């Protein structure tokens, strides 16, 4: 844990424990065999998603009974405290059901509309990333920081969601823009975001995401020094899409998005 005590230390400790236990439960259920169902938006869901969300909510409710909840699998509770936990019990269910290692448990804490703490636990890879406002970002208790790269010719780019990226306003010019970069790597939404936070990538683009996909990664990215915004340039987890990048590459990324906005 960070050496400096802060008011969100207990929240992070409980969230990390909940994420780890949910990851263990998911792995046990996965080993027993799973069948994925399709939700109304055609995304997959398994019993592991639902059971892990239930476990996380129970653990957080026991420690913070006045906090609210928003979970991908239906957990909703109004907040008395002005705080709300935003949960994705298995981020990357498609990877989870196929046995790919890049899925994660995501838990973010929103206070008065601002994400102030988050945990991203990748059980198979053995990594837990976490952060709280003003106290930096960490991977397995080691401080992490975005790279200082400002030249796309030396930068690694991640563009996820290729099944839906074609609907983005910048799609017709995306391939030409990508050609400026040193390399392109796309492993999975959360993993790519965490690699950016740890200085292993420089730009992360997600064309279709929900608040539970972004709450935890957003605070981790920003505490690691990244810039975070949606395709409209707004710092929010509610825009339906997201971009994160190193400070040195922010101008060129914003320029690409701004110059290619669909006329109003």
| 222 touches 129 (CB < 8 A) | no
**List of residues 6+ apart from 235 with CB closer than 8 A:** 228, 229
Strands (E), 96-182: 104-111, 114-122, 127-132, 137-139, 142-144, 156-159
- The closest of 181, 187, 196 to 228, measured between CA atoms, is 196
| 150 touches 246 (CB < 8 A) | yes
Helix (H, G, I), strand (E, B) or coil at 127: strand
0.85 exceeded by pTM: yes
CA distance 43 to 40: 7
CA distance 167 to 144: 34
Token pair belonging to 94: 């498609």
**List of residues 6+ apart from 176 with CB closer than 8 A:** none
pLDDT per residue rounded down to tens, the chain (264 residues): 444 346 899 999 999 999 999 999 999 999 987 777 766 665 678 889 999 999 999 999 999 999 999 999 999 999 999 999 999 999 999 899 899 999 999 999 999 999 999 999 999 999 999 999 999 999 998 999 999 999 999 999 999 988 888 888 898 999 999 999 999 999 987 999 999 999 999 999 999 999 999 999 999 999 999 999 999 999 999 999 999 999 999 999 999 998 756 444
Q: Please say whether the dihedral angle defined by the alpha carbons of residues 20, 26, 30 and 36, taken in this order, is positive or negative.
A: negative
**Coarse DSSP helix, strand, coil percentages of the chain, rounded to the nearest 5 percent:** 35, 25, 40
CA distance 12 to 231: 30
Label the pairing between strands 104-111 and 114-122. antiparallel
């Amino acid at each position: 844990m960070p050496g400096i005590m802060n008011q969100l230390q207990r929240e992070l400790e409980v969230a990390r424990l909940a994420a780890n236990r949910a990851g263990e439960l998911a792995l046990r259920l996965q080993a027993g065999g799973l069948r994925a169902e399709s939700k109304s938006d055609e995304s997959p869901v398994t019993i592991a998603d639902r059971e892990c969300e239930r476990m996380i909510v129970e653990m957080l409710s026991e420690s913070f009974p006045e906090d609210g909840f928003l979970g991908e699998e239906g957990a909703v509770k109004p907040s008395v405290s002005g705080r709300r936990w935003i949960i994705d019990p298995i981020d990357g269910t498609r990877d989870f059901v196929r046995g790919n290692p890049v899925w994660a448990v995501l838990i973010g804490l929103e206070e008065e509309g601002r994400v102030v703490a988050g945990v991203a636990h990748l059980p198979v890879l053995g990594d837990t990333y976490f952060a709280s406002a003003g106290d930096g970002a960490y991977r397995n208790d080691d401080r992490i920081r975005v790279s200082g790269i400002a030249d796309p010719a030396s930068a690694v780019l991640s563009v996820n969601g290729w099944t839906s990226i074609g609907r983005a306003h910048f799609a017709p010019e995306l391939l030409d823009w990508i050609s400026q970069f040193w390399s392109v790597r796309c492993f999975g939404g959360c993993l790519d975001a965490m690699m950016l936070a740890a200085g292993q990538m420089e730009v992360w683009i997600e064309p279709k995401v929900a608040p539970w996909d972004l709450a935890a990664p957003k605070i981790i990215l920003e505490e690691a020094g990244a810039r975070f915004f949606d395709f409209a340039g707004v710092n929010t987890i509610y825009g339906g899409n997201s971009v994160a990048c190193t400070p040195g590459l922010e101008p060129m990324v914003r320029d690409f998005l701004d110059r290619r906005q669909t006329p109003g």
